[in-house]
Amino acid sequence: YISSGAQSEASRDTWVPYHAGLVSAREETALGVNVNFDPCVDILQNWRNTIVNTRAYGTTAEDVIEYTNAYVEGLKAEREVVCCVKHFPGDGTEERDQHLILGVNELSVEEWENSFGKVYLNHIENGVEMIMAGHIALPEYQKALRPGLEDKDVMPATLAEELIQDLLKEKLDFNGMVITDASHMLGMTSAMRREDYVPGAIAAGCDMFLFFNNMEEDFNFMLKGYHNGVITEERMTDALRRILGLKAKLNLPEKQANGRLLKDKKELEVIGCAEHLEWQKEAADRGITLVKDTQQNLPINPVDHKRVRLYYLDGEKGGIMANDDSVLNRFVDELTSRGYEVTVNDGNSRIKGRTLEYRDTVDLALVVANVIGYGAQNNYRIQWKTAMSNEVPWYVHEVPTVFVSTNFTTHLHDATMVKTFINAYHGNENTVKAVIDKLEGKSEFKGTPNELVWTEKWQAKL
């Protein structure tokens, strides 16, 4: 890990996304991977959206173009990798997640062309080889392309010929390959029967179908769609031309013939190498963001703030991106090594105890929010461990209180009362060390927040 999209944006520096792309290409090709499903070229316009909160490279088309261009430049600098940008026609305008429901981009034709349209045109003109179609509808544009189209007939881009064929391939002149987003997502599965949307995606203009439910069954669905004319001979030939063209660009037939498809194990040494870890440190230093310190709680030190009460807020348990205690342990270990005495709070209780005793025994309240989740709810916010838990920030006026988020950037919505707030973007060891260096004043905060961090709440700025 070098940087997320959000961290790249906060750095206001193309060095960070460039090196994120460079390391991605180096490490994935060492593993034998030749397609990179990044960068995410969505524009984060809605602060409630958490599916692309950290993956988007900006809140404007201009920022997304600048930082994703840098990422692609790094990706292509040393290695032969196909770049796939996503999620056409664009996520970030609403708060819902296409893993769970049809995504809808409600922008008008003009608004889309002046935002997402600019982003996609930029990457198409720069030669991007692959675009991932999202399970996202663009109803205003779809109705402009298909006059008389009714709401009930509005489909996600993966099943909408007017978006893939008419808009992307013809109007934007994209001559590369279109792949669907994952075919188990409800944005697609809720549209029609699977035996219909499997071939329907190819008929709509997608060239490759991502993931099986059951390989034999889905293959037969696709074959049936070809035999009954859902997928025309012309459409099948076009899809194959684009797929084979990409393979030819990567010289895969030649490499296979020469026995060079598999990598040498020695190439794995690049993964997590010292140079990459140094770049991780540098990216953390450039990206970590002091959103506010209105109470002037910083800097801290192990003399005046020796006794630390650490409140650890995590996210989803047992999921694909389930939390463990590794980030918590990194903060505890690093603070302890610097001379702090750390007590990890048990947030499962409502009991707060005597206020004056708390004030006499705690020098610093440190809230670490490592809220991570995927595909189990439409958006992720802070969830306190119990009703009126003792971890809610009742203590902000009792002792200096510092809030650090290691993932999502918009937690101020649920913690507006906190006076010192930092976005760290990740919880790896180098980032944790860099955060504490900055809390102690040993290193300046260099990141710049976007306006969405305030979540449209005036009190968040206090």
Q: How far apart are CA 184 and CA 170, in angstroms?
A: 28
Cα R_g (the chain), whole angstroms:
24
Exposure of 367 in the CB half-sphere (CA atoms within 13 A): 30
Helix (H) or strand (E) holding 429: helix 429-439
Side chain identity at 107, as an amino acid letter? L
3-state secondary structure of 394: coil
Specify the residue for token string 């040498």: 264
Exposure of 356 in the CB half-sphere (CA atoms within 13 A): 0
Is the CB of residue 23 less than 8 Å from the CB of residue 75? no
Query: Which residue from 330, 292, 286, 322 is spatially nearest to 433, judged by alpha carbons?
Result: 330
3-state secondary structure of 264: coil
In this structure, is the dihedral angle defined by the CA atoms of residues 34, 183, 180 and 52, taken in order, positive or negative? negative
Q: What is the full DSSP assignment across 312-340?
A: EEE--SSSTT---SHHHHHHHHHHHHTT-
Specify the residue for token string 């955060």: 435
3-state secondary structure of 10: helix
Q: How far apart are CA 51 and CA 54, in angstroms?
A: 8
Please identify which of the residues 13, 42, 91, 181 carries the catalytic annotation.
181
Name the phi and psi angles at 40, rounded to 5: -80, 110
DSSP 262: S
Those residues whose C-beta lies under 8 Å from the C-beta of residue 71, and which sit 6 or more positions away, are 8, 17, 18, 20, 21, 38, 39, 57
User: Is there a catalytic annotation at residue 181?
Assistant: yes
Is the CB of residue 405 less than 8 Å from the CB of residue 371? yes
Name the phi and psi angles at 130, rounded to 5: -140, 145
Q: How far apart are CA 115 and CA 3, in angstroms?
A: 24
**Alpha-carbon distances, residue 159 vs 86, 171, 190 (angstroms):** 16, 18, 12
**Alpha-carbon distances, residue 33 vs 79, 182, 338 (angstroms):** 11, 18, 41
**Token reading at 319:** 């999921």
Q: Give the catalytic positions in this structure.
A: 181
